Amino acid sequence: MEGVDHLAHERQKAQFDVEEMKVVWAGSRHALELSDRISRLVASDPAFRKDNRTVLSRKELFKNTLRKAAYAWKRIIELRLTEEEAARLRFYVDEPAFTDLHWGMFVPAIKGQGTDEQQQKWLTLAYKMQIIGCYAQTELGHGSNVQGLETTATFDPKADEFIINSPTLTSSKWWPGGLGKIATHGVIYARLITDGQDHGVHGFIVQLRSLEDHMPLPGITIGDIGMKFGNGAYNTMDNGVLRFDNVRIPRDQMLMRVSQVTREGKYVMSNVPRQLVYGTMVYVRQTIVVDASCALSRAVTIATRYSAVRRQFGSQDGGPETQVIDYKTQQNRLFPLLASAYAFRFVGEWLKWLYTDVTQRLQANDFSTLPEAHACTAGLKSLTTSITADAIEECRKLCGGHGYLCSSGLPELIAVYVPACTYEGDNVVLLLQVARYLMKAVSQLPSGKKPVGTTAYMGRVEYLMQCRSDVQRAEDWLKPNVVLQAFEARAARMSVACAQKLAQFSNSEEGFAELSPILVEASLAHCQLIVVSKFIEKLQQDIPGKGVKEQLEALCSVYALHLLHKHSGDFLSTGTITAKQASLANDQLLSLYSKVRPNAVALVDAFNYTDHYLGSILGRYDGNVYPKLYEEAWKDPLNEYVVPDGFHEYISPMLKQQLRNARL
């Protein structure tokens, strides 16, 4: 059965050019070529094997991760990979490690908040991995509320030093990846105190371990916080705990791009605008949205291919049973997730543009779009990670019992992915931040201040408050302007309704707390509108390739109409559409599934994932699932012996009714 493509019949049904769709997914021909080359490089190297991760002990697992990280760095140097190629290599190695935080948080923090001199000193070392950094912000007692952090950095003018201290148990740094066992340095966030005055939270570069013997430096207590959810998964990462007992660092190790402390102990702001710090946040959240599209597309690839392989019921006269993917119930659960993967990809692409735009504006001292960019990235981080986490679990269920096996790749993918709902901002807290921005936007409408960017639709609020959808037939829902108007009207009406309710409270903060559940719903409606509108905008571009645009149009409609169906209560209660129109939208959605069905396997092939990266027997490219599942079962350590360890001590006495003699 080796070498046979069991999904060839599915691939032959495709009504579009898969190679061209790969380019659309990758973002450009250059990006596709690079990803393809690097992913194959990783997949063909036995040193990056990962199929045994879930059976390793924590110590073995962690040591193996260190080996892979060191080997990856060796290959990056040997092959003289560019920064872009090196980042792809780490992505395809597909194992959470200290390097993620070194490159993804430590380096950007110094780039964003360090002076030119500080960057010159520290980044030179970091780029060569002569120091390994982490990002220590979260504490045992505070996560989302950064202003509540308790670690202190008190300036001592006599010694020209800061004294870093953990005054309480809850001020212990808790969670930073790479901190537990590997990081030599950290960007530590602490309350800056000069002459008894608290200036709020600032960043400091602190050496944590000796560069000679890797022992913690005096005054530093440091370790790993313990096992986390799942087998393998995020347990490859040394999330750490850190306490400071009056540790002294030189004054020039405070990150001083935005503010600084002089030799005399005076706190001064530099001429660099404080808002620059937000640029880094926009960047990090943009990468999280792109990561969501990757994780979701991975789960959807596994579920789609396996749904095409698996047959159950429906045999006619002894013929083959029905492919699971042909059941409408399976399509109704799976195809909206496939559409969401593409939707998140395109909104992630747009966020890359937004980050560039915001950065250029900040450099020109134009802060006008910053609040909107901040709200928009916060909302999209929340929306995409929540949906993706739920979707991976749904894909596991779509694979039936076999989806529960570690060899399906889905349990580990879930366990690795779910923390994204919490890190870089708790998803509900982020939606409440979006709500504050929306309420402010609504309150400023009467003054004639024009809403910008993703809130521009609010400028037409009078029209959106009274417009009615003119849908009369199911196919009317295929018109982008019809869909867009429905989503805009629903979002505007929900925001306005919240603002009106809020106005009835004499204390706006009390009102905000009381109304927070409906404020979150209004934020969600706004964020869903952004994703739908960016998908529609993508389709207005020139997209080459036979049938490629048509498939994307079908997926865009599936994405929007599934949301409309799922949240029909919002659309109906705001009077945006009628019950009849909601019913027509669902009719159209069901007929779209028939259009997606022959292309489903080809649409996931366009993600261009190697079997190594997918790490799933159910999601194998060739569909040769059952022989490989059988083969894999025998590799489990339990099957090394026919009679298990412990049988003679415990089970044999039970069978022979001799338990009183057993050594229990």
Which are the catalytic amino acids? 424
Q: How many CB atoms lie within 10 A of CB 33?
A: 12
Place of tokens 């966030």: 189
Token pair recorded at residue 355: 């980050």
| Alpha-helix residue ranges (DSSP H) falling in 597-657 | 600-605, 611-614, 625-633, 652-655
Q: Of 158, 155, 139, which Cα lies nearest the Cα of 147? A: 139
Q: How far apart are CA 586 and CA 558, in angstroms?
A: 10
Q: What are phi and psi of 241, to 5 degrees?
A: -120, 140
DSSP state of 522: H
Answer yes or no: are the C-beta atoms of 361 and 374 closer than 8 Å: no
Token pair recorded at residue 660: 């009183």
The CA distances from residue 580 to 46, 231, 470, 474, in Å, are 58, 48, 11, 10
Beta bridge mates, 164: 153, 247
DSSP state of 79: T
| Helical packing angle, 480-503 and 427-443, nearest 10° | 80
Q: Of 115, 520, 596, 102, which Cα lies nearest the Cα of 342? A: 596
Q: Of 323, 298, 331, 381, which Cα lies nearest the Cα of 92? A: 298
Q: How many CA atoms lie within 13 A of 183 on its CB side?
A: 37
Q: How far apart are CA 277 and CA 172, in angstroms?
A: 24
How many whole angstroms from its chain centre is CA 507? 36
Q: How far apart are CA 61 and CA 64, in angstroms?
A: 5
